[in-house]
Amino acid sequence: MESTEKRGLEGQGGLLVDRNAPGTQEKVISILAGMPRGRLLDAPAGEGALVQRLLGLHDITAIDLDEDFFKLHGQVPFRRVDLNGPLPFEDASFDYVTCVEGIEHLENPFSCVREFARVLRPGGTLVITTPNIMSIKSRTRFLFYGYHDFFRFIKLPREFRHGHPEYDHQHINPMTFTELRYALEKAGLEVVGVHTNRYVRARRWSVLYPLVRRMIVGNAKGKAPDDRDLYSREILEGEILVVEGRRS
């Protein structure tokens, strides 16, 4: 997976590098903390940094498109899976599914969310994260530059690092919180928590920030006064969306 920075986990007891945005894995782990031991699907697993931190807490199955990139073969079951297609598991196979910074890489995130819901048992939990393009910082970046945070211009196919385009792992599909919530609820998952890894602001025009924030909050309250998520701090200032869904 792509990263905003590599934090020093390598070389400390063999821990893998956390390549996700700072605090994202910690937030996911905190949501799962206290939940009973169960079967957990991590999709996509990347090198396995999150899997490694959850070892012993749950019975984990890891899936990803690139099996050579995964570093924990022999420690947990691994299957090569393209998340754009069906998952190779029976209905209601897992108690938990974690998808950390994955859906923005997919051609069809709605189909993927349906598959996550299908393999979850009733009462099971999905924790899914993606860059928050509804933050004020990301909205203003799009206004001035034409792309959101974490979504710079997509490279042309001839510039792919690998022989197969599906291995290039680019951010190709930004989703707003409202789109992600719609996808979850349409798949039969109730959104029970909206979190973020950390709060960020646009520093270059901080003097205008309070005014812009008041305008956005006022517009959101005017159009959807009962939808408090739309003007919550998690949506307006969160860097990464961390959404907790539960299968009804």
If pLDDT is split at 50, 70 and 90, which confidence band does 243 have?
very high
Closest CA to 138 of 127, 128, 147, 125: 147
Over range 143-159, report the average pLDDT: 79
Quick: pLDDT tens for 219-230: 999 999 999 999
For residues 132, 245, 171, 135, the Cα torsion angle rounded to the nearest 10 degrees is 0
pTM of this structure: 0.88
Over range 99-115, report the average pLDDT: 96
Distance CA 238, CA 133 (A): 9
If pLDDT is split at 50, 70 and 90, which confidence band does 202 have?
confident
Burial annotation 127-166 (CB, 10 A radius, 16+ → b, else e): bbbbbbbbbbbbbbbeeeeebbbbbeeeeeeeeeeeeeee
**Quick check: 156 pLDDT over 80?**
no
Using DSSP bridges, classify how beta strands 240-247 and 189-196 pair: parallel, antiparallel or unpaired.
antiparallel
Residue in this structure with the two tokens 């299908």, named with its chain if needed: 118
Distance CA 91, CA 199 (A): 37
**Structural domains for the chain:** 24-134+170-200+238-247 (3.40.50.150)
Residue 142 phi/psi, 5° resolution? -65, -40
Distance CA 82, CA 167 (A): 10
Quick: pLDDT tens for 17-26: 999 999 999 9
